[in-house]
Amino acid sequence: MERPLADRLRPESMEDIIGQKHILGKGKILNRIIESKFIPNMIFYGPPGVGKTTVANIIAEMTHKRFHRLNATTDSTKDIKEILSELNTFMGYEGILLYIDEIHHFPKRTQQILLEYMENGQITLIGSTTENPYFYVFKAILSRATVIEFKPLSNEEIIEGLLKVCHKLKKEENGLFVDFEKEALEIISNSSEGDLRKALNSLELIIKTTPSNKDKIIITGDLAKEFAQKNFSYDRDGDKHYDILSAFQKSIRGSDAEASILYLAMLIKAGDLTSIIRRLLVIASEDIGLAYPQAISIVKACTDSALQLGFPEAQIPLAQAVLLLATAPKSNSAVKAIGEALMDIDKTNIGEIPLHLKDGHYKGAEKLGRMQGYKYPHDYPHNYINQQYMPDNIKDKIYYNYGENKFEQSIKNYWKNIKK
């Protein structure tokens, strides 16, 4: 059976690897590790198709260790134990280099088996994962390993990878000449979402299903559109979910309407209505707050409409809510006020509630001094009378500081005039 193109023409040296200059460039962390030939335990973290397995294979070739490769989605604790049982039988090897693909799929107990052998140096572990290792990899392993993050490839790097593979195909015995229209390269690279393997799979599918003319294939834009279909990847429990939501809120907070709409579109593509609504309601109070108090009412109406409509029509009131929040004046005075108060409750002895504020609606309350001397504000001009409401221990504490926006400043001036 013929191996897939992406595997068959996998780079064999670090110089052939596309992208990852931030770790493989001269003087960068992985480049320095490889040049030193001291290979520590490492966790390769990043999306699929960006070179994690390729780099591990090349490192294995450079060491004097016995190389074993496991995949946590298909292998088990038994497979690890079989490898460990052979430790003393390897003549001429300086221990084991164990590469575990998708290590986050191994349960905690399976990961723990490796600890002793990592500690004494009998095993050098390179684990790869598409999930954030700080959430999914056992902490004791993380403390013994260096986490190295791989990035998605740029469109330019994807195109470079496609052209390199086509050059290799041409050099093979009975080689095939593959040429591209410029539009075709752009379409394939755009649809790959930074995943070179995905781009090469599209290339292979086109080559296998397109008749050649004298061992020559020209990949047109139309061919690329037909085969290189873009699928928006999204995992509601994974990093991408939280990264998009984080960017979504930060863009609205930063009053960038264009970025806010883009991240909303990503969430809509994922069909994640619940997360969108929850985040919009939080933003209305957390980031807009008292600068535009009506915002939360409008957002609630928009999100209720979205729930009743469902997708695809829900995208319209959601876009309305996002643009309203992104372009609204901002204030976090409410967040800061409640945060300070909660902190005092946790860390400060706030003391007793003043007696005149305590409940006095029961027999015997008067004997206990409850509600004595309380002044009813509505009996006074402007419905205000100066009296102590804070406990004695923190009676001068200020939690709420008026925001520098039109609404809050108008309220500040109103009370300044009343209270003087």
Asked whether residue 169 falls in the same domain as residue 249, the answer is: no
Q: What is the CATH number of the domain that holds 286?
A: 1.20.272.10
Dist CA 281 CA 116 (whole Å):
49
Is 118 domain-assigned?
Answer: yes
- In degrees, to the nearest 5, what angle opens at C-alpha 290 toward C-alphas 284 and 293? 65
Is 74 domain-assigned?
Answer: yes
- Ranges in the chain, pLDDT < 50: 92
Tell me how many domains the chain contains: 4
**pLDDT of the residue at 172:** 65
Inter-axis angle of helices 239-253 and 257-269, to 10 degrees? 150
Asked whether residue 348 falls in the same domain as residue 415, the answer is: yes
Specify whether the CB–CB gap between 145 and 115 falls below 8 A: no
Specify whether the CB–CB gap between 286 and 327 falls below 8 A: no
- Side by side, which strands form the sheet with 66-71? 66-71, 96-101, 123-129, 42-45, 146-149
Is 284 domain-assigned?
Answer: yes
**pLDDT of the residue at 114:** 81
Give residue-wise pLDDT tens across range 102-161. Answer: 888 888 888 888 887 788 777 888 999 988 888 888 888 888 899 999 999 998 999 998
Q: Say if residue 223 is exposed, middle or buried (CB neighbours under 10 Å; 0-12, 13-18, 19+).
A: buried
Specify whether the CB–CB gap between 63 and 95 falls below 8 A: no
**pLDDT of the residue at 2:** 64
Asked whether residue 377 falls in the same domain as residue 264, the answer is: no
Asked whether residue 145 falls in the same domain as residue 160, the answer is: no
Specify whether the CB–CB gap between 291 and 330 falls below 8 A: yes
Here the contacts of 261-264 (C-beta below 8 Å, separation 24 or greater) are 261/319, 261/322, 261/323, 261/326, 264/318, 264/319, 264/322
Beta strands in 189-294 (DSSP E): 216-219
**pLDDT of the residue at 70:** 87
Mean pLDDT (the chain) is 86
Nearest residue to 128 (alpha-carbon basis) of 67, 54, 61 = 54
Is 234 domain-assigned?
Answer: no
Q: Write the DSSP assignment of 54-80 as a string of letters.
A: HHHHHHHHHSSSEEEEEETTT--HHHH
Asked whether residue 141 falls in the same domain as residue 173, the answer is: no
HSE, side-chain direction, 13 A CA sphere, residue 38: 4
Backbone φ and ψ for 67, nearest 5 degrees, come out as -95, 130
Rounded CA Rg of the chain: 31
Asked whether residue 410 falls in the same domain as residue 346, the answer is: yes
**pLDDT of the residue at 56:** 87
Is 5 domain-assigned?
Answer: no
Asked whether residue 145 falls in the same domain as residue 70, the answer is: yes
**pLDDT of the residue at 246:** 92
The domain of 142 spans: 20-149
Among 227, 254, 279, residue at a domain's last position: 227
Asked whether residue 106 falls in the same domain as residue 203, the answer is: no
Q: Cite the DSSP H helix spans in 75-124.
A: 77-85, 108-112, 115-119
Give residue-wise pLDDT tens across range 197-239. Answer: 888 888 888 888 887 777 788 888 888 888 877 666 666 666 6
Asked whether residue 65 falls in the same domain as residue 138, the answer is: yes
Asked whether residue 64 falls in the same domain as residue 50, the answer is: yes
Nearest residue to 164 (alpha-carbon basis) of 15, 2, 26 = 15
**pLDDT of the residue at 350:** 85
Inter-axis angle of helices 257-269 and 315-327, to 10 degrees? 150
Dist CA 278 CA 284 (whole Å):
10
> What predicted TM-score, i.e. pTM, was given to this entire model?
0.69
Does residue 70 sit in helix, strand or coil? strand
**pLDDT of the residue at 76:** 76
Q: Which two tokens stand for residue 295?
A: 């915002």
Asked whether residue 215 falls in the same domain as residue 250, the answer is: no
**pLDDT of the residue at 267:** 92
User: Tokens 């079989």 label which residue?
Assistant: 82
257-295 burial string, b = 16+ CB within 10 Å, else e?
eebbbebbebbbebebbebbbebbeebbbbbbbbbbbeb
Is 383 domain-assigned?
Answer: yes
Among 82, 115, 149, residue at a domain's last position: 149
Dist CA 150 CA 21 (whole Å):
10
Specify whether the CB–CB gap between 207 and 170 falls below 8 A: no
Dist CA 159 CA 163 (whole Å):
6
Dist CA 101 CA 45 (whole Å):
11
| C-alpha 141 chain-centroid distance | 22
Among 227, 256, 274, residue at a domain's last position: 227
Q: What is the CATH number of the domain that holds 86?
A: 3.40.50.300
| C-alpha 286 chain-centroid distance | 21
Is 232 domain-assigned?
Answer: no
Is 338 domain-assigned?
Answer: yes
